[in-house]
């Protein structure tokens, strides 16, 4: 009888703990030297869920200790924070972000496509080029750092390999977003594509999820990129209209 009671007690405790874990939510606020902190993207790299900060930089996102949050904004330097158990005990989790400041004199930039690391002999021809996130993933998923070859297994079971793979996807999206900002200004989105100014960032995230569009964006064909963007803008404006009804 005592054993049965003990088993039931353990099951009840486990159920309560599971519910608490499932309902865990982090309430936080962005602190930065900016008046407008609305629209900062907060992404949980483990669950791939994301939210956007409200007026004043406040946000609320489902998360658990051990999850890594990515904070990204065009006006602020992006940062990643691994959550600790104590972070959930606070009424508000404050995140300090630094403003993106460029203090450069006028510079004439000339493009030389034939001059690169390979032509200069810095990198051997045919060697694969890795981004920072790809490099970390390659290290974690290969046995080069451990002569016994155990690192890939340890990273696989701990979930680190999966997390790094998600970081690669986030890095790619940030790369596409930067390319968009380099190719098109606010005037193009508002006056040409008819995207409301407050929805521009959401539209950019919407189109970089489209594989056909990102392939065209990578091809550097601005005409085709603009054509596809016009089609996607029409669909996105329909979504906005439905949401505002």
Counting every residue written for the chain, the total comes to 245
> What pLDDT is stored for residue 96 in this prediction?
94
202-243 tens-digit pLDDT: 888 889 888 888 888 888 788 888 888 899 999 998 888 887
> What pLDDT is stored for residue 20 in this prediction?
46
State the DSSP code for 87: G
3-state secondary structure of 113: coil
Residue 60 has pLDDT above 90, yes or no: yes
**What's the CA gap between 140 and 155, in Å, rounded?**
6
> What pLDDT is stored for residue 217 in this prediction?
86
35-48 tens-digit pLDDT: 888 889 999 998 88
Tell me the three-class secondary structure of 148-183, residue by residue: CCCHHHHHHHHCHHHHHHHHHHHHHHHHHHHHHHHH
Cβ 151 vs Cβ 138: under 8 Å:
no
Residue 62 has pLDDT above 90, yes or no: yes
Cβ 175 vs Cβ 204: under 8 Å:
no
142-194 tens-digit pLDDT: 544 444 444 555 555 455 556 656 676 777 788 888 888 888 888 989 998 89
73-126 tens-digit pLDDT: 878 888 999 999 999 998 999 999 998 765 555 656 666 556 666 666 665 666
> What pLDDT is stored for residue 29 in this prediction?
95
Instruction: Please give the mean pLDDT across all residues of the chain.
Output: 76
Give Cβ neighbours of residue 161 (< 8 Å, ≥ 6 apart). Answer: 137, 140, 141, 152, 155
> What pLDDT is stored for residue 149 in this prediction?
46
> What pLDDT is stored for residue 127 in this prediction?
54
Per-residue confidence band for 136, with pLDDT thresholds at 50, 70 and 90 = low
Residue 34 has pLDDT above 70, yes or no: yes
> What pLDDT is stored for residue 135 in this prediction?
56
Cβ 112 vs Cβ 139: under 8 Å:
no
Give Cβ neighbours of residue 21 (< 8 Å, ≥ 6 apart). Answer: 64
> How would you classify the pairing of strands 41-44 and 68-72?
antiparallel
> What pLDDT is stored for residue 68 in this prediction?
92
> What pLDDT is stored for residue 183 in this prediction?
86
């Amino acid at each position: 009888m005592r054993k049965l009671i003990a088993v039931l007690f353990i099951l009840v405790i486990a159920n309560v703990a599971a519910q608490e874990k499932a309902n865990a939510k982090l309430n936080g606020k962005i602190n930065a030297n900016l008046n407008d902190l609305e629209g900062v993207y907060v992404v949980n790299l483990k669950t791939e869920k994301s939210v956007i900060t409200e007026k004043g930089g406040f946000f609320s996102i489902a998360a658990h200790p051990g999850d890594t949050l990515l904070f990204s904004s065009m006006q602020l330097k992006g940062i990643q924070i691994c959550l600790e158990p104590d972070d959930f005990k606070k009424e508000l989790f404050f995140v300090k972000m630094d403003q993106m400041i460029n203090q450069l004199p006028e510079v004439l930039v000339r493009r030389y496509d034939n001059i690169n690391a390979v032509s200069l002999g810095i990198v051997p021809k045919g060697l694969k080029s890795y981004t920072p996130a790809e490099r970390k993933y390659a290290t974690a998923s290969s046995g080069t750092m451990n002569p016994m070859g155990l690192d890939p297994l340890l990273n696989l079971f701990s979930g680190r390999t999966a997390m790094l793979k998600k970081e690669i996807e986030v890095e790619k999206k940030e790369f596409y977003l930067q390319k968009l900002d380099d190719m098109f200004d606010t005037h193009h989105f508002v006056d040409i594509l008819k995207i409301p100014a407050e929805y521009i960032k959401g539209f950019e995230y919407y189109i970089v999820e489209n594989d056909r569009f990102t392939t065209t964006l990578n091809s550097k064909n601005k005409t085709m990129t603009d054509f596809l963007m016009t089609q996607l803008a029409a669909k996105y404006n329909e979504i906005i209209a439905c949401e505002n009804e």
